[in-house]
Structure 1
Amino acid sequence: MSGALLDSSFCLRVRPGECLTSQLFLLSVPGMAKCFPIKFFPVEGDEGEQLRRQFVGYPDGFVRGDPGGLLMTVGYLNIKDELFNMELRPDDVWVITFPKSGTTWTQEIMWLILNKIDTEAAGKIPVILKSLFLEYSGLVPKADFTLCQAANEEVSILEIYEDLPRDKPRILKSHLPFSVLPPNILNTNKVVYVARNPKDVIVSYFHHHKLIKIQEFNGTFAEFVDYFIQDQVLYAPYWSHLHDAWSKRNQPNVCFIFFEEMKKDLFLSVRKIAMFLGKDMSDKEVNKIVEFVKFENSKDRWLGFEKDLKEKGLFKEAGSFLRRGEVGDHKNYFDEELERKVDDWIQENLKGHDLKFPQY
């Protein structure tokens, strides 16, 4: 085909790297390029300047998607089409969350379930290598891409994924919403989605930005709360991310679980995830996983890896990635005014929805 033919019923690759808008045959024609569903625009003006001034870990600023308002780094634009069109293996499994909702904990559980509960190997392999972070290369400077174990800075994250062994499932981790992930994901793969009370997410995300230099935030907690509820943090909006996943919770390839449920009954949660992944485990096997992934045990294993990151200057000396892992930690940070402000925000965004956070 030569030239460009625009037809709203098709999505065709007409030249290398070029495709036309499509809806009808996105999933049905092998090799067809899927057109990215949203457009991104730089966050400019006073808002852009303010975000760059306070989120100093993102010197290039942010871009915002339309429709939906997804806030991402400028670097994400270099990988978004590749991720959206990535080839999925039939046995791929995913852990998808809004940041600081229990991702690390869940991916450790999933790795053990899918690797015959090999706790000896699990203790030696850093958790970030058990489930590679899909969009990582679009979030950080190339100089820091070594976290993904790329031998060459020009190697894409998908090339790393493609090189993973085919004799066992890949565990893919992402904080991206479903709207920008491969459109055939739920027809092809199983997804564990973890949700967490937004008050605790805010506290944990604030400390995350205080710890990691490439995502550094130099403002106060109260300022961070305002950024969060105004959809001005990376991966925001929180609510569209969560509501979209909640609407998919009854699909056969989705396991929707709350962080609070995991904290209340980890045994039951591990069993639920195992059954979802097709693994029938004995009580003894489930208990072995539960003991291994208890917060205090996970934190001890993480400290060695974290020490290396601090020595490389990627993490600040103060703080820890696995900080407290508690339910209700926000009570130690919210004064009455912040509590009222966030409560109003939550109530407004739950109107018309049947989503309820567990109360423990």
Structure 2
Amino acid sequence: MNKQRLLSGHETELLTSEELRKISEDLVKHKSGFVRILPDGWLYPAITTLYLDRIYSMELRPDDVFIITFPKSGTTWMQEILWVMLRNPDLDPNNEEMKEPLWVRSVDVGFDMHFDNEERAKRDMKSIAEKFSRVCSGKKVEDGILIQIAESQPSPRVIKSHFPLELHNKDLLKKWFRWKDQDDIGSDEAANQYYNMVVYVARNPKDVMVSFYHWMRVIRSANYQGSLEKFAREIMKGDFSYCPYWPHVLQAWRQRDNPNLYFTTYEDMKDDIMGQLRNINKFLGKNLTEEQLRKIAQFTSFSSMKTRGEPIDKAYYNEDLWKKEGGMFRKGIKGDWKNHFSPELNQEMDQWIRDNVKDTGLIFKSGN
């Protein structure tokens, strides 16, 4: 069995043909196969191993902000909030960067793993490919399109990732950010040695299941064909890309008191977005006014973002199914799982959640 050691200290294990047959036949088949990242067993296309060391050794900047989530947990919403607060808090309509799609101005450093070759990337990510040609002249595509765009972006960067915390740079959460407690910092020289922030958004895993299922059905690189119940059980077993779910969330939850990390939930954002914006404003050290925050809340509302259109290229998804399923901005509600789960699946998931949150203190709203 092919294995390799990553800079993070994790070991990768290539799935055999027999192991691949045991997981869903509906799972998109990548040319490179699939690997588990041990010891937690995260499942990714094998091509991911080409990029993980580069992501782990990625040079951090004093004002970087990472948005890290398990997929379909409110990532795009928070991503837009962070980008606007940091790079265009007055919502200047003449801001040139705002003319770019969100996934171009705030890239997902793990997205390269979905593309087995350069031609596929050029087809499905036209705006990304154009950005790469413009800002990464002379660089190699095989070294990671999204990673190298992120490296070229101006500060402050808002960097998106669905990889768990421990697969990122080991220093990401080790230093106190200079703006957290400004009054307690003695000198500018001392202040400058503290940097980097992570915003982690979790979501009720039942709603994650529904949203992730719809997403996997409409994007061309997945084209999932199974039922929701089959999909949910694969997620619970950890037999789908990005899984397992709980080690991802609980790694961040255990860091919730780290001054470099802000942990929130999709449900808290839906219940009190202004309260969340005030907390994030303080976390970022931005000192934005209440009026600025109010306008940002409106600009990043579900209806406003849906009206502005999809933040990704059309070639990336099945357009007919995308329209039928509601696109990226499908419903924007909490508790939608109640419209989709059978009583049997609900019972299974309740037990799965209880088993994994026991003694952690983590509670998800709208879970019953």
C-alpha distance after superposition, 1:152-177 (max 9, x if no partner): 63453333222222xx3011110111
| 1:196 lines up with 2:203 in the alignment | yes
Match of 1:144 among 120, 127, 134: 120
C-alpha distance after superposition, 1:216-270 (max 9, x if no partner): 2111111101101001121111111111100001011111011000001111111
| 1:90 lines up with 2:62 in the alignment | yes
Aligned residue in 1 for 2:156: 169
Aligned residue in 2 for 1:16: none
- How far is the alpha carbon of 1:359 from its aligned partner? 4.1
Please identify, of 59-68 and 108-117, the stretch whose mean Cα deviation from structure 2 is larger: 59-68
Q: With a CA cutoff of 8 Å and minimum separation of 6, indicate the structure with the bigger relative contact order.
A: 2
> AA paired with 1:153?
V
| 1:318 lines up with 2:301 in the alignment | no
TM-score under structure 1 length normalisation: 0.84
> AA paired with 1:93?
V
Match of 2:86 among 107, 111, 114: 114
Aligned residue in 2 for 1:124: 99
- Paired residues for 1:319-358 under 5 Å: 319=322, 320-358=327-365
- How far is the alpha carbon of 1:118 from its aligned partner? 4.4
> AA paired with 1:160?
I
Q: Give me the whole-angstrom Cα distance separating, in 2, the residues matched to 1:220 and 1:177.
A: 27
- Paired residues for 1:234-313 under 5 Å: 234-303=241-310, 308-309=313-314, 312=315
C-alpha distance after superposition, 1:200-222 (max 9, x if no partner): 00000000100101022111111
> AA paired with 2:321?
A
- How far is the alpha carbon of 1:87 from its aligned partner? 0.8
- How far is the alpha carbon of 1:135 from its aligned partner? 1.2
Q: Give me the whole-angstrom Cα distance separating, in 2, the residues matched to 1:47 and 1:155.
A: 29
> AA paired with 1:163?
S
SS of the counterpart of 2:68?
strand
Q: Give me the whole-angstrom Cα distance separating, in 2, the residues matched to 1:317 and 1:83.
A: 35
Q: Give me the whole-angstrom Cα distance separating, in 2, the residues matched to 1:334 and 1:236.
A: 20
5+ residue gaps, structure 2, are 134-139, 176-194
**Are the counterparts in 1 of residues 32 and 116 from structure 2 also a CA contact under 8 Å?**
no
Aligned residue in 2 for 1:73: 45
Q: Using the aligned pairs only, state the percent identity.
A: 34
**Are the counterparts in 1 of residues 8 and 166 from structure 2 also a CA contact under 8 Å?**
no
Q: Assess, with a 3 A threshold, how the Cα gap between structure 1 residues 335 and 242 changes in structure 2: closer, same or farther.
A: same
Please identify, of 339-348 and 266-275, the stretch whose mean Cα deviation from structure 2 is larger: 266-275
Q: Give me the whole-angstrom Cα distance separating, in 2, the residues matched to 1:313 and 1:115.
A: 27
**Are the counterparts in 2 of residues 51 and 61 from structure 1 also a CA contact under 8 Å?**
no
Please identify, of 261-270 and 35-44, the stretch whose mean Cα deviation from structure 2 is larger: 35-44
Q: Assess, with a 3 A threshold, how the Cα gap between structure 1 residues 290 and 343 changes in structure 2: closer, same or farther.
A: same
| 1:221 lines up with 2:228 in the alignment | yes
- How far is the alpha carbon of 1:86 from its aligned partner? 1.1
Q: Give me the whole-angstrom Cα distance separating, in 1, the residues matched to 2:120 and 2:166.
A: 28
5+ residue gaps, structure 1, are 1-18, 22-33
| 1:153 lines up with 2:129 in the alignment | no
Aligned residue in 1 for 2:170: 183
- How far is the alpha carbon of 1:59 from its aligned partner? 4.7
Q: Give me the whole-angstrom Cα distance separating, in 2, the residues matched to 1:57 and 1:315.
A: 17
**Are the counterparts in 2 of residues 57 and 213 from structure 1 also a CA contact under 8 Å?**
no
> AA paired with 1:170?
R
**Are the counterparts in 2 of residues 92 and 172 from structure 1 also a CA contact under 8 Å?**
yes
> AA paired with 1:74?
A
Q: Assess, with a 3 A threshold, how the Cα gap between structure 1 residues 221 and 63 changes in structure 2: closer, same or farther.
A: same
Q: Assess, with a 3 A threshold, how the Cα gap between structure 1 residues 59 and 53 changes in structure 2: closer, same or farther.
A: farther
- How far is the alpha carbon of 1:274 from its aligned partner? 1.5
C-alpha distance after superposition, 1:43-73 (max 9, x if no partner): 2244412546311353543211221111111
> AA paired with 2:292?
E
- How far is the alpha carbon of 1:194 from its aligned partner? 0.3
**Are the counterparts in 1 of residues 81 and 296 from structure 2 also a CA contact under 8 Å?**
yes
- How far is the alpha carbon of 1:77 from its aligned partner? 0.9
SS of the counterpart of 2:44?
strand
Aligned residue in 2 for 1:31: none
